[in-house]
Amino acid sequence: MKKIGFVGVGIMGKSMVRNLMKNGFEVSIYTRTKSKAEDVIGEGAIWCDTIAECAKDKDVVISIVGYPKDVEEVYFGEHGILNSAAKGTYVVDMTTTSPKLAKRIYAEAAQKGIHALDAPVTGGDTGAKAGTLAILVGGDEDDFQACMPVFEAMGNNIVYEGTAGNGQHTKMANQIIIAGTVSGMCEAMAYAKKEGLDVQKVLDAVGTGAAGSKQLSSLSPRVMQGDFGPGFFVKHFIKDMKIAAEEADEIGLDLGVLKKVLSMYEEMESQGKGDLGTQSLVQYYGW
């Protein structure tokens, strides 16, 4: 496996493309706005004018786009991946999307002799840059093993979660944890500030104990520096939480904390803050 097509070169995708190239893969890319990918094109990525061109004659086609509707367009469009990739190609959707959609891609790919995996990632922009993403994979185990060298170029915690859709279900569990953790961090920081404490000293004191977390260590410094830019967009986190809430509702599970955090982020989005990073939730508390 040497020739890779990569659809979606955003904050995460751009770093993933770089790491694939560093590991010796020939990477062809497609994204909606070519100008946003000029830097990686200059570094050796091969530009494709269409998704069909990006998927044609590749060993593996990877996608990481925004929303489920984007995934549907990328895979099922007339010139989409499943109508352009050759039999035997491995297609890997690394977007966080609906488990049902992952199962649909798997089923329709199988009919065409194409191997499909759902492989959402976690680790944010820093993990994408460092090549240390956690990659959560659903699909056939043989296909997972075949794609391992590709995954290893982008991540270091690569887990086979089971059948098609299970990668997405695992990512939903991840997002449920993050929703509670980020909101807890923001509430604690707002509380400490309101009580007149030195917030940084509080963070230093509790961050290495039971209250410590990856979210706390990676996001609280950004808050303290007044950096609310996206490592992960508010608008995309809202999308993820909605999927998780819908899946939970279908199995009769009421995720009260998740739904409360979702409502807070939706209020922020209504104020025009959807393009900020998830750490900006602290602003909800008057930071």
Per-residue confidence (pLDDT) for residue 211, from 0 to 100: 97
Q: What is the pLDDT of residue 231?
A: 87
Say if residue 124's pLDDT is above 90: no
Question: Mean pLDDT across the stretch 53-68?
Answer: 97
One-letter amino acid identity for 117? L
User: In this predicted model, what pLDDT tens digit does every residue of 261-284 receive, in sequence order?
Assistant: 999 999 999 999 999 999 999 999
pLDDT of res. 31? 96
**What is the reported pLDDT for 8?**
97
Nearby residues of 169 by Cβ (< 8 Å), 6 or more positions away: 99, 138, 161, 247
Contact 109, 91 (CB under 8 A): yes
- pTM of the predicted model, to two decimals? 0.94
The confidence score (pLDDT) of residue 162 equals 98
Domains identified in the chain and CATH numbers? 3-163 (3.40.50.720), 169-285 (1.10.1040.10)
pLDDT digits (tens, 9 = 90+) for 158-185: 999 999 999 999 999 999 999 999 999 9
Across 10-19, average pLDDT: 95
52, HSE (Cβ side, Cα atoms, 13 Å): 5
Confidence of residue 1 (pLDDT cuts 50, 70, 90): confident
Q: Is 171 a catalytic residue?
A: yes
Catalytic residue among 171, 235, 239, 273: 171
